[in-house]
Structure 1
Amino acid sequence: MRLRLDYQGAYDWPAMLGFLSARAIAGLETVVDGVYSRSISLGGAHGTFSITQAQGDALDVVLRFPDILAVPEIVRRLRRMFDLDADLPGIHRHLSTDPLMARLIAGHPGLRVPGAWDGLELAIRAVLGQQISVGAAIRLAGKLVAQYGERLLPSFAPLTHVFPSSRVLAEADLAALGMPRSRGRTLSGVAQALLDDPRLFEPKSDLPACTAPLLALWGVGDWTAQYIALRQMREADAFPSGDVGLINALKALEGGPVTPGGLLARAEAWRPHRAYAAQVLWTSLSRAD
């Protein structure tokens, strides 16, 4: 099935692909020749989609999924994942009152915030990324998917698995994958929390309402909670001020020492769109590399 997802304004598709490619989990997702593909699971059924930029202001999707009744929910998730409904001109006008943001946005006017297909998957990624590099976290995620993910049948090479279910992860000894036992405990605890509250990763009324239930979980700190709110709950003002990438980006752009507190103070001018400012900073760092 082919779908066309329209959007308004500019769209920096290469930046979106670059972000997703750097975080692609083997067996679960891939980026090849301008196309992002991944396996999906919804309502007990499995499938895949491939998405790329189409002519005009739209993304083109090839969907392979056995349940046609699930298509509206799949479209809703895709629109959130690829940030298709954002008022990007309005957001960027506000951020551009800061000269630094104005300069960065002028160079990449279609920069959007990558979302996530599934809340559990994003939360597991965030916990795996605590205090280690993106590459190391993705390698661990690949082990987790290969060990605990259900096989994708029929396969769509190189997509071989779907992401593990919350029940499987809640019961697994994830430290056996080669991580600190405390982190394995946090991962299983996050999965159990979703079993206890199926709406755990759904958007809430405001940022504190998004992060409070997450901060109550063992091993989940502010960085993890803010990151989940930013990418999964689509909270436009979420801002992981302790993120090393954000700190390094601001340091490279403006020089001088940057602390988490200093970054947080600097970000006051970017409210209520700090998530978009964070994406601008992350992208500036990746392109400087």
Structure 2
Amino acid sequence: MTVHALPFRPPYDGTRLAAFLSDHASPGVETVAGGAYRRTVRFGGGFGILHVEPAAEEPALHVRLDAPGLDRGARDAALARLRTMFDLDADPAALSDGLGDDPFMADLVRRRPGLRIPGAFDPFELTVRAILGQQVSVAAATRLAGRLVAAFGTPLPGEVSAPGLTHAFPEPAQLVDADVSLILNMPRARGSAIRRLAAAVLDAPDLLAPGPDLEASVARLTALPGIGPWTAHYVAMRALGQADAFPPGDVGLMRALDSGAGRPSRAGLLARAEAWRPWRAYAALHLWAEDADRRGAPAVQI
């Protein structure tokens, strides 16, 4: 089986990124073990397994694709998605320079070089997961995701298999009429938000396409019932490649900025973040990491 090398500019904190992906993995669709990430994927009318792990002797990730009948176009598209998901095109020097004017942020970057934004292989999947995670813990959201996959996902055919991987994540057409709230025993508003998201993506397949305009992306997302500014910025950050996304009013971000004189207000947080443009997503990542390390908790509670 061919191994594809996806290079990156060091430093690269793959350990922390893998830990995040492990905490947020959807059961049946994703696994993380020993620093290696595996997931199920759809290729046209078929299915496959992606295997991603750090290269031993070069600054790169090694990727294997176990997908019968995979053509070159689908292979290249999958590799491009993985580059985005693992934030392999980030320039650490540019990020350090861009965040270095704020002494507090400069210290965070110095202490945690190579932090990368954990992206998403599929924007629809990530957005559904973000809705499932509203107002519940990461562990609870993971359980809900596993039940969603088991109830509405597509079982893998027998010729495609890997330990812990059983289904492809549900597509919009599989969720648009699904009674998600009843099956998952969760608030009806959240189930309705997932159905309406699915309907919106079916009506406008480019709704969750990456793009350079953060405000336009956030406006499209917040126009959907059940998606507020925090969730919209979170999705823009992780799924749409928006390096300046910044979830407003996030408690973890405000906690991280408390140096003993108290947390900033929501307005104070946004004012402070102006100095971090156009890299506010990376600033948020460093603040979440600081908050998590202080508390010994997962970096993002969703």
TM range (shorter): over 0.9
CA offsets 1:203-233 (integer angstroms, 9 cap, x no match) = 2241111111111111111011111111111
The code of the aligned residue for 1:213 comes to R
Matched, 1:94 2:94: no
Q: Which residue of 1 aligns with 2:190?
A: 183
Unaligned runs of 5+ in 2: 297-302
User: Is 1:61 aligned to residue 63 of structure 2?
Assistant: yes
Q: Choose the corresponding residue for 1:81, options 65, 75, 85.
A: 85
- Contact 1:3/1:62, CA 8 A, preserved across alignment: yes
The alignment partner of 1:83 has SS state of coil
1:45 and 1:260 map into 2 onto residues whose CA distance is 46
- State whether residues 49 and 161 of structure 2, in contact with CA within 8 Å, keep that contact through their aligned partners in structure 1: no
CA–CA distance in structure 1, aligned partners of residues 84 and 147 of structure 2: 27
SS in 2 for 1:61: strand
Decide which of 134, 139, 147 is 1:135's aligned counterpart: 139
Show the counterpart of 1:17: 18
Within-5 A mapping of 1:89-238: 89-153=93-157, 154-176=160-182, 177-238=184-245
Distance 1:109 1:33, change over 3 A: same
Partner SS for 2:65: strand
User: 2:38 maps to what in 1?
Assistant: 37
**CA positional deviation for 1:286:** 2.6
CA deviation after TM superposition for structure 1 residue 9, in Å = 2.7
Aligned length: 288
Q: How far apart are 1:160 and its partner, in Å? A: 0.8
The 3-state SS of whatever aligns with 1:242 is coil
**Are the aligned partners of 1:9 and 1:89 in contact in 2 as well (CA < 8 Å)?**
no
Query: Is this contact kept in 2: 1:15–1:283, CA < 8 A?
Result: no
Distance 1:254 1:240 in 2: 23
Which secondary structure state, in structure 2, belongs to the residue aligned with residue 112 of structure 1?
A: coil
CA gap 1:114/1:39 in 2 versus in 1, 3 angstroms: same
Judge which range, 239-248 or 175-184, deviates more: 239-248
Where 1:47 maps in the other structure, the secondary structure is strand
Shift of residue 152 of structure 1? 1.6
How far, CA to CA, are the matches of 1:213 and 1:11 in structure 2?
32
Amino acid at match of 1:64: D
Instruction: For 1:285 and 1:257, locate their aligned partners in 2 and report how far apart those are by CA, in whole Å.
Output: 12
Compare 124-133 and 220-229 and name the one that shifted more.
124-133
Deviations, residues 134-190 of structure 1 (Å, cap 9, x unaligned): 221111111101111111222211111110010011110000111100110001101
1:148 and 1:40 map into 2 onto residues whose CA distance is 15
Q: Displacement of 1:249 after TM fit?
A: 2.7
Q: Secondary structure at the match of 1:125?
A: helix
Q: How does 1:243-254 map to 2 (within 5 A)?
A: 243-251=250-258
Give yes or no for contact 1:237–1:275 (8 Å, CA) kept in 2: yes
Structure 1 runs (4+) deviating above 6 angstroms are: none
Confirm or deny: 8 A CA contact 2:50 2:63 kept in the other structure. Answer: yes
CA distance in structure 1 between the aligned counterparts of 2:166 and 2:257, rounded to whole angstroms = 39
Q: Any conservation in 1 of the 2:254–2:263 contact (CA below 8 Å)? A: no
Residue 75 of structure 2: aligned partner: 71
Report the TM-score when normalising by structure 1.
0.95
Q: Residue type of the partner of 1:106? A: R
Alpha-carbon RMSD across the aligned residues, in angstroms, is: 1.4
Give the partner amino acid of 2:42: S
Once the two structures are superposed, residues 236-281 of structure 1 have per-residue CA deviations (whole angstroms, 9 ceiling, x without a partner) of 1000022233233333x55513332222122111111100111111
> What is the distance in 1 between the residues matched to 2:149 and 2:253?
28
* 1:19-49 C-alpha deviation (Å, 9 max, x unpaired): 1111112111111111111111232321111
Q: How far apart are residue 6 of structure 1 and its match?
A: 0.8
In the alignment, the residues of structure 2 paired with residue 19 and residue 204 of structure 1 have an alpha-carbon distance, to the nearest angstrom, of 24
C-alpha distance in 1 between matches for 2:12 and 2:51 = 18
TM-score normalized with structure 2 length: 0.91
Question: C-alpha distance in 1, partners of 2:4/2:185?
Answer: 40
Distance 2:260 2:216 in 1: 33
CA distance in 1, matches of 2:153, 2:272: 41
Does the CA-based 8 Å contact 2:29-2:166 persist in structure 1?
Answer: yes
The equivalent residue for 2:48 is 47
Q: Which runs of 5+ in 1 are unaligned?
A: none
